[in-house]
Structure 1
Amino acid sequence: MTADEEPCAATEGVHMVEETLGELRAELGEAGVVLPSLRVDPVSWAARDVPPLVDLGRCNLATARQLVAALRERRS
């Protein structure tokens, strides 16, 4: 990986995390659930070798995506 590629990958990662948090917030809101401290865990975000944790009880990003899907399915 070149130095030119790293910012692009980092930007895509930030976008995916922000998008997932926004989707999760919206889906939880539709279900009447508000998690005021929903955020990316800053310690895990700093680690480059593992995906960041979503701080809502400390689940990983994949679990948060599954929760978004489950909430959407339930609403359907």
Structure 2
Amino acid sequence: MYTIPFLLWTSEKWQATHPRDFSQDVDRKYSLAELIHTWSDLAGLSYDGYDPTRSVVNPQFKETTAGLVTRTRKTR
């Protein structure tokens, strides 16, 4: 399994109109499947299928390992 960090940068202009503190979110475990929900949350989008519990930056976020795949190496 590989761990790839999630990087979030916000401009001062965006921060002025979207005051949020992401410091409590830095240790959350997530998978790439949460990206669309996180991106939508940051953009203020809501639509059928959007799930705030899958947005890494949402207070309702629920960590899950359902989307994580672990591979084992077989030897001969």
Query: What is the TM-score when the length of structure 1 is the normalising length?
Result: 0.29
Structure with the larger helix share: 1
Give the TM-score of the pair, scaled to structure 2.
Answer: 0.29
Relative to its length, the structure with more strand (as a share) is: 1
